[in-house]
Each structure stands twice: as C-alpha cells, then as structure tokens.
A and B are shown apart, each in its own frame.
Chain A
Amino acid sequence: MMLEVRDLDACYGRAQILSGVALDVAPGEVVALLGRNGAGKSTTLKTILGLVPPTRGRIAFHGAGIAGLAPYRIARLGLGYVPEERRIFTDLSVRENLEVARRAPRDGLEPWTPARLFKLFPNLETLVDRPGGRMSGGEQQMLAVARTLMGNPKMLLLDEPSEGLAPLIVEQMEAAIAALKRDGLAVLLCEQNLHFARRLADRAVILEKGQVRYTGTMAALMADAAVRKTYLEL
C-alpha cells in the first residue's frame, strides 16, 4: 500500500474534527475523498501532510510511519500537497513559484521540469514572468498543481482542484490529472464535485462529521443511489 491511514484523530483546539479515519491508497490509484462541506476532507489531507498534528492514529507512507513528522519531511518523502486555497506565492513569478518547489529527482520517475510542466498546462508557458498575484483563478490552480509536481512527488494530495473554476478549465484540469494518473502517480482527491471525481477516481471514501461512512469502488458508489443521497446530496 502506498498510503495507509488508521484510527486517525485530529483537533482544532477543543473541537475534534476527525475521529478514527481510515483509508488506503494503492500505487497508481486515484481515491476520491468525498463528503459535504465541513465533513473533514481538507483536514484529513492536512493531517496526512502534518500541517495539522494528529492526536491519535497511524499514517504510513510506503510502510513507514510519518505521523508526527514535520511537513517538510513528509513532503520530501514524496507526498505532494495542493491546498484548496491554492496558496500561490503572489509576489513570485510563475517561474519562481516553480523553482522554490523544485526537489531532487526521484529514482524511477522522470523528473519534472518547467518545460515538461508546460506540456501538461500549456497556459502557464506564456505567463512565466508574470507575478502569481496577477493570474486568474484557473491559472493559479494550474500553477498550484504544477508547483507541487516540481517536488517530484510519488503521490498527490489534491484538495478540491475543480472548485470555482470555469467549465472549460475544469475539463483541462481533469485531463491533466488523468494524464498524471496514466503516468502512474497515486492521487488522494478531495472533491465536492462528484461528476469531476467519478471520471478520475478508482475508489471512493466518504466522510461525514469526521468519520468514514463509506468505502468502495467508484462504480459501486455510482450504482448506489441511497448512499449518495444519504451522504453527498444536499
């Protein structure tokens, strides 16, 4: 298993956000983490990366425990995180945004370079010298994914990559993630947009109130209207 999460608890102050979350991601697999607003999807990603300290539970990446490590160590092990708010360095140019995230190539993976990323996100190429703060939301989202790829991750933690984007951009984003999947990158994908997730994900995990309520293949979830109605639909 590439990523194994067991019995994971996390709190903000006194408020417990996650309780006993368990999920797996196999190499090359795309797993969708679904659930309504406030279910704990983003917190799960942040806790895996160490941005929110887990209060209980085990997180293993390639079999080695990573719970409690500093975020930069977890990132260096090959977990790439793309936050929901994108968090582009607005004072830095596109090129610089990519450069600050560059890490050493990883054995067996073709290293990412700006040139290779521009093939994946052609829009970025014309903007290399533009400050991150003067880009559209869609361009920023692409840059956020591209920037994380510069670290040559073995797995991506993608938080709502389709949120707030124009339909055309959503399609481009979907194509890019599909291409990454074909290259063998594992992805844990947080999504509210089921239509976006269903075309990419192999399996789905549904959270509600910080607990896992459903785990199954994407196909099974799409066949099960009752589960979707209970946990996903408004």
Chain B
Amino acid sequence: MSEIFADILIQFLNGLAGASSLFLVAAGLSLIFGVTRIVNFAHGALFMLGLYLAWSLIDLFGRSTLLGFWGGVLAAALCVGAIGAAIEVFVLRRIYKAPELFQLLATFALVLIIKDAVLYFWGAEELLGPRAPGLRGAVEIFGRRLPEYDLLLIVAGPLVLCLLWLLLHRTRYGMFVRAATQDREMLAALGTNERHLFTSVFFLGAFLAGLGGALQIPREPAQLSLDLAVISDAFVVVVVGGMGSIGGAFLAALLIAQAKALCIALGDVAMFGTIVSFSKLTLVVEFAIMAAVLVLRPWGLLGKPLALARGGSAHASPLDPPGQLFWPTSLFVLMLLAFAPLGGDRYLLVLMGDIAVFALFAVALHFLMGPGGLVSFGHAAYFGLGSYAAALAFLRLDLPAEAALLAAPLAGGLAALLFGWFCVRLSGVYLAMLTLAFAQIAWSVVFQWNDATGGSNGLIGLWPAGWLKDRTLYFWATLALCAAGIFFLWRTVHAPFGLALRAARDQPMRAEAVGIDTRRVQWLAFALSGAFAGLAGGLFAFAKGSISPDTLGVARSVDGLAMVLLGGVHTLTGPVLGAAVFTWLQDEIARNTQYWRAILGLAILALVLAFPYGLGGALKRLRGAS
C-alpha cells in the first residue's frame, strides 16, 4: 500500500510542476481575453515559440552557466512578449471592429504562420533542451526520485500568481486592466486610450506564454505539435477556471494537472472484474472535467458572467429571403459542376469531390453558427464520427457502401444530439469551448480504441464495390448528396424552424415569450447540423479509401471554421464559396511547397484584413454599393 502511496505522492508533485507551466500559459490567455475579448488561438504557438527560442538563446548565452540558462529563459520570454505586442499592433488592432470570430480566424492564421516559421528556423526534428545548471540532480522522496528542477517549477506557479495579483491589485496599471476587463467601452468613454492597454496586455500575455514554454526546456523536447496541444489544454484551464480570472486559472491548472497525474499514478487497475486503464484516460480526463464544470458552473469555477458582449456583432442584418434568381442560379452552378469529370482530368475530379464534401460540412457548420448563433469549435467530431460509422459499417458489418453511408448522418446526428444537449445550455465562448472539449473526447476515444478504430493507423480499404467503384459516378453521387444536403439546410433557414432558430439567437427571452422552446430548437439544430456534417464525413471516407483520427482532429474543426468565416457568417452562400476557396488554396499550395501552412495563414490574414466581413459579405456590399 505504501508503494501506491509513494507513487501517488510523486505523481502529485509531478502534477504540481506541470500545473505551473499550464498556469502561466492559461493566465496569459485569460488576461488577453479579459481585456481585449479576443480568444487567442495562437497562444499555444507562442508557448512553443518560447520553448524553441529558449533552446537557441541558452545555447547562445552558454548552457552551463547560471546566467546563460536563466538569461536565455528570460530573453526568450521577452522576445515572445515583443512578438505578441507586434501581433496586436500589426494584425489584431485592425480588426477589433470586425465580428469576434474574425479575430479568431486571424489568430488561427498566426498559428499556421508561426508553425512554419519554427519549421523553417529549427527544422522538424525534436530538440532536447539543456538542463538547468545547479538543478540537474534529483531529490529522493519515499524512495522515489523527483528532479530538483520540478521543485523549482512547483514554486514558480504560485510565485507568478502572487506577482500577477500584486500587479493587478496594487498598481495603477493593474487598475486599468481590471477596469478594461469589465467594461472597456466605458473606460474609453472616460478618456483612456485602449490601444496602449491592449498592446501592453498582449505583451504581458505573450510573455507569460513564452515564459511557460521556456521554463519547460529541461522537461520536454521542443516539437512542432506543441502549439495545438498546449492551446487546447490552456483553453480547458481558462474555461474551467473562468474566463478572465487569474486565480481561477491557477485553481483549474492545479485541478487538471492533478487529475492527469492521478490517472498516470493509478495506471491499470483491476476493477469490477476487468482492467481499467487509467493512464489511457489522461487525454480525456481534462475534457471530462471541463464538461462537468461547464454544466454545473457555466462560467467556470471563479468566473463571472460576461456582462457586455462586444459592440457591433449584436446587430447582424437579417438574412434576405432568396431572390427570384437564387434557386435557378444555384441549379445552374450545380449543373456546371456536374460536367467537371467529363474533361477526364483525374486531379480535378478529386478536388471537386473534396470541395463538394467540405461545402456540405461548411454549410452544416454555418447552419449552427450563422442562423443558430452557436459557434462550434469541434465540428470535426460529427464529420469524423460519420466517417468512422460509415467505415465500420462497411468493414465490420459488410454492408454495401450505399447502406454503410446511411450510418454516417445517423452517427453524426446522434453524437450531436448527445453533445448538443449539454452545449445548448451555454452560450458564446463557453459553448465553443465545450464543443471543443467534446470533440477532443471523441478524438481521444477514436485514437486510443485500437480494436475498433485501428487507433492512430485508422481504417483502410474503404473502396466501395459496384457502380460506385467508378470514380466519376462516385463524384456525381457525392455532388448530388452534398447539393441536396446544402439545399435542404438553406431551405430550413427560411422555414418556420429556421425563423424560430434565428429568433432564439437574436432575442432568446422574447422568443421564449412567444412560445418558442429555444433550447429545444437549438438542440435540434445541433442534431441537424451534426447529421449533415456526418454525411459529409461518410462521403469523404469512401472518396479517400482510408481514414485516420485526423478526420476528427482539432485541425479539421478549424478548417471548417476558416471556411465559414472566409465565406462570411452573414450570408447563406458564403460557406460554399469559403469551402471552395479554402480547399482549392490548401490543395494548390500544399502541392508546391512544404511551407503551405504559412502561405495559407498569410492568405487568410490578407483576406481577413481586406474583407473583415468575409467573401460573401464583400460580394453583398459590392452589390449593395452598385
């Protein structure tokens, strides 16, 4: 028994050390969100940058000297802080008035750019960092060894928490930060120039992320996948703790790091006659905690309800009902697309098929985001579960592809019905985060359930037999199904159900007062959107012949968001346009350079800065102006 106790204690201390870094990143994210209301997707990338910069700067200053190591760590954090400030000045400042989601898209573009910059400067290999001079040893606790450096990290977290508290509550600057966190518009009305505040808060937040990264240098190798891994952890911490609450972030970081540590410590335990592998739960446990917290305390442990949303986005213009030419034009475009394979260009066929699938995916997501006003950060879950359901029905149940395809919308819809029940109880950023959490849980399950899903290898051999074997016919089937799905969703937006959905978005209380069960309407919208995303996923699986957990990864969810935002949330046709442009761009660039991410990111940034209302919105404005 004492063995287990020692194991748990050492993992507990390990958890404390892990919590520190997590807290630094989350505190920065929370500060930035509090003041600017920007959810900085690039915060994980800044963490990663801190780690890489520390690696190089410590090398430069001297690995073995105290000054070289700590000077390197501090310099790395300061560099990242400066980069954060530059991002605010050159990118985000230009789009504060654009819809909230555009800022998100811009920060995601930064993720892509930073990732490729790191790839360019440091290469794709993992880099092992130096150990801290003077802290290379380990202390012995109950016969277990704990690295001395971990002890330092255990102290670092609470220390930074204290310093931040002093900064926020005992300085003039902190007073302004707190005021802006609550109501920055009022602060501006009292004569404070928000710009300086925003830039400095970005510096501070990025500095903390960089410091969090740099401090990890003796503990974990620098690698390119850290950005998304860290950002989802940090999101979870911030949401569990309460957006904008530094103390909450600390508490949440502790809770989550400890829960993970506990899972590792328990390992495989025999329970109820079977072996339960707790170590496998580490990927899921934080998201499970988040889901539980959000359901019980929708504003996080120490958070407060957000009083004021940002101005502008609340007054979205109502959608125009489709004009006389809308349906004929759509039909014409569809006919045109149907001729695509006749040229015999195999590449074009694949590309058009991808565009059709992603157009349906984007329209399904848009249905939820636009008319529904429910932003999903994890829509790939429904797409991916659709893929897997169809694939498993095909492979394990030996169903023909046509029948297996039915499983796709069913799985997507059922999953959305389940997850959506929780999600519609929240709103705004919290809802988005919960969708992300569910998507991560789905991903973890698919990734780890080797027996059923093939784990990280995925499933192969998904080539339909019979008439669908012909790629041209498969393309036509895809096109027909996607078009039918898209038209159905478009019709629904203007049907009574769509009107109720939009009413629930714009005026939930008034909608309730006229007898609309807003939660139920939103829940159904969730299911509908999930079903069509699932259908898209199923079609995707048979088009590619194989699927992997990437099908439902964060990156795919973000792709969907990028498509919708690129096209414009406030138009119906926007998502189709966005999906086409995005898929084509991604494909085109990826074929020509290994730095396709950076180019895609720059393209997104350019588009966001040039058309802050999306491509569809820009077209609409052009028409309105002429």
Contact = CB atoms under 8 A, between A and B. Distances in A.
B186 to A, nearest CB: 4
A15 B318 CA distance: 11
B190 A101 contact: yes
A71 B183 CA distance: 14
Contacts of B317: 13-14
B178 A91 contact: yes
A148 interface: yes
A51 interface: yes
A139 interface: no
Given A49-B189, A72-B192, A75-B188, A100 B179 contact: yes
Contacts of A16: none
Contact of B190 (A15, A70, A148): A148
A15 B316 CA distance: 11
B176 to A, nearest CB: 6
Contacts of A232: none
B139 to A, nearest CB: 41
A153 to B, nearest CB: 9
B182 A91 contact: yes
Contact of A71 (B179, B189, B315): B189
Contacts of A100: 175-176, 179, 187, 190, 192
Interface stretch (A18-26, A28-36, A81-89, A168-176): A81-89
B182 to A, nearest CB: 5
Interface in A1-51: 12-15, 49, 51
B188 A72 contact: yes
B194 interface: yes
For A51, A75, A83, A89, which residue has the most chain B Cβ atoms within 10 angstroms? A89
Contacts of A14: 317-318
Given A87-B186, A99-B172, A72 B179 contact: no
Contact of B191 (A75, A87, A92, A96): A75
B190 A75 contact: yes
B190 A151 contact: yes
A77 B498 CA distance: 47
B192 A92 contact: no
A109 to B, nearest CB: 15
A15 B187 CA distance: 27
B126 interface: no
B65 interface: no
A50 to B, nearest CB: 9
A176 to B, nearest CB: 19
Given A89-B179, A90-B182, A13 B316 contact: yes
Interface in B173-218: 175-176, 178-179, 181-183, 185-194
Contacts of A70: 188, 193
Contacts of B194: 72
A13 B194 CA distance: 24
A92 B318 CA distance: 38
A209 interface: no
Contact of B188 (A15, A71, A89, A103): A71
Interface in B103-126: none
A148 B188 CA distance: 12
Contacts of A150: 190
Contact of A89 (B172, B183, B315): B183
Given A13-B315, A13-B316, A13-B317, A72 B191 contact: yes
Nearest to B311: A51
B191 A101 contact: yes
B187 to A, nearest CB: 7
A51 B176 CA distance: 19
The 6 closest A-B pairs by CB, nearest first: A13-B315, A75-B191, A101-B190, A87-B186, A72-B188, A89-B179
Given A14-B318, A89-B187, 8 more contacts: A15-B315, A51-B311, A72-B193, A89-B178, A96-B178, A100-B175, A101-B190, A151-B191
29 contacts: A15-B315, A49-B189, A70-B188, A71-B185, A71-B188, A72-B189, A72-B191, A72-B192, A72-B193, A75-B188, A75-B191, A76-B191, A89-B179, A89-B182, A91-B179, A91-B181, A92-B178, A92-B179, A92-B182, A96-B179, A99-B172, A99-B175, A100-B176, A100-B179, A100-B187, A100-B192, A101-B191, A103-B191, A150-B190
